[in-house]
Structure 1
Amino acid sequence: SNSNANASLGAVQPFLSIINNFVTGRTFGYAGLNANTDEGFGISSGQTWATDNTVGLNLRWSIFDGGRARAQYRQSKQQAQENAFRFADTRDRVRFEVEQSFNDLRADTRTIQTTSREVLSSRESLRLARLRFQAGVTTQREVVDNQRDLTQAQLRYARALADYNNGLSELRRRTGLDQIAICQPPKLSAIKPLEDETYTVPVPPEPLPPACSAPYPAAKS
């Protein structure tokens, strides 16, 4: 667009051209009579060289065009500015999409960790509920509720893996990086994992006193 703008102004500017034409030639023919031949008089052959050099100047200048060249110049400049803004907008949009995919991928990683621990916790709760039911200290309803919670936890874990793999596909499509590997679902063990600082909830358990022994606040005088 900038080149077109300069070409539009160049159409109404003076244009000076220099022309140089150089021509050379050689002619074969008869030069005339020659008296020094054996027969006395005759016609002898010869050749002639000729050169011609022409120099010229041409000046072309469109003095008035009704403002057409200036209008085309402004139009091309505006198109160049529009293309610059469009390029910047596309660059920012691509960068935003890549950053959004990367942040979503990090969030999906945390979701996988959370849902996997939720599955392990639900399995432990179901195991304890079955033991209490076998001991006769709970009802069948609690076992069914724990089975439902375990199924929902497994569904959330599978959904987190699917979201993570979809995020990987989007990031690969937007960046062109082929080194990204698809997350394979690990096999979650039914054994309760060892508690560490990141797994333990820092809330100390408090004893629950019976309702008849609950202290009442002293009345204010």
Structure 2
Amino acid sequence: MGNRDPSAARPDSAEVRREVDEDTQIRPGSGAVGRLRQDARRNRTTVLRAARAVFRDRGLEATVQNVARRAGVSAATVHRRFPGRDALVRDLAEHAAAELTERFAELARTVPADLALERALRFVAAEAVATRVCAPDHRERFPERARALDEHVHRELHRLLESARAQGRISAEITDRDLRLATSAVAAAAAAEPDPERAGRAAQRLVTHFLRSFRSPG
């Protein structure tokens, strides 16, 4: 991926002007500014969700037009918020990290610590399968970003591990290294099996295996 998507034509200038004009017609104090901001946030979230689905299906070679079609918006709308695929990938990674943090925090609040860790690991396993089309390309083209996302995931998992150990629900002998081994094995299983359903089952079996060895006896 370069700085620009060579296969994606720039949006028509008249189309861009129309959308900009719609924004500039909103005047402070009109009561519409809040609605505009809400619409902008909604559009951004819609585009990011569409980008996630498209990149998972097609890999990072998917075009901005592919994303726009999936989102049900114009290419101009996507370009106004994201200059190209690089910006989409960056913001998508940040969005995924924030979503994961929120999900894991909810688990920590609502279920026992060992179950929270198990569900978090199963979520990570499912994501490893879902993203395996684009993950290798992402690691190659954006190595620092990929490492940062990996470390973010691991930090969130480690918090759950520490909580489960503190409550005696996970063996005190289980270390950070064991957790990294588990996630590495799950990722390898997800990548090794060509069939996605089989890959999913293999990744989840590994989670089951590791959790059995993690839990405190009795």
The normalised TM-score by structure 1 is 0.28
Flag the structure with larger Rg: 1
Which structure features the higher share of helix residues? Answer: 2
Tell me the TM-score normalized by structure 2: 0.28
More relative contact order in 1 or in 2 (CA 8 Å, sep 6+)? 2
